[in-house]
Amino acid sequence: MAALRILYFAWVRERIGLDEQEIAPPAPDVTVAALLDRLAAESAGHAAAFAERGRLRAALDQRFVPLDTPIGEAQELAIFPPVTGG
């Protein structure tokens, strides 16, 4: 099975120090939030980026999803702060 590509944007990217990373795909029933818990243990930057879950948004294969969504067979996960515009 192909790796899961994780993309980081804005201050999430700045705290982690990476634009993206690839990991072995988690089990299909693992949620985005559970994966963030796992990643938070990787480094202080990851922990800082994922500390305030209410400030994070996610997209699986370019579709916005709540953090309690199972990753399923997705090939890409994007993590970013809420988007505002005018």
| Domain with 31 in it | 4-80
Encoded amino acid at 48, one letter: A
* Structural domain contains residue 58: yes
Q: Tell which phi-psi region holds residue 17, choosing left (phi > 0), alpha (psi between -120 and 50) or beta.
A: left
Q: CATH no. for residue 28? A: 3.10.20.30
Query: How many domains are there within the chain?
Result: 1
Sign of CA dihedral 7, 39, 73, 65: negative
Task: Report the percentage of the chain scoring pLDDT > 90.
Answer: 92
Nearest to 13 by CA among 74, 64, 73, 56: 56
* Structural domain contains residue 67: yes
Per-residue model confidence (pLDDT) at position 84:
60
* Structural domain contains residue 68: yes
* Structural domain contains residue 16: yes
Q: pLDDT tens for residues 28-53?
A: 999 999 999 999 999 999 999 999 99
* Structural domain contains residue 85: no
Task: Report the percentage of the chain scoring pLDDT > 70.
Answer: 95
* Structural domain contains residue 54: yes
**Please, is 44 exposed, middle or buried when counting C-beta atoms within 10 Å of its C-beta (0-12, 13-18, 19+)?**
exposed
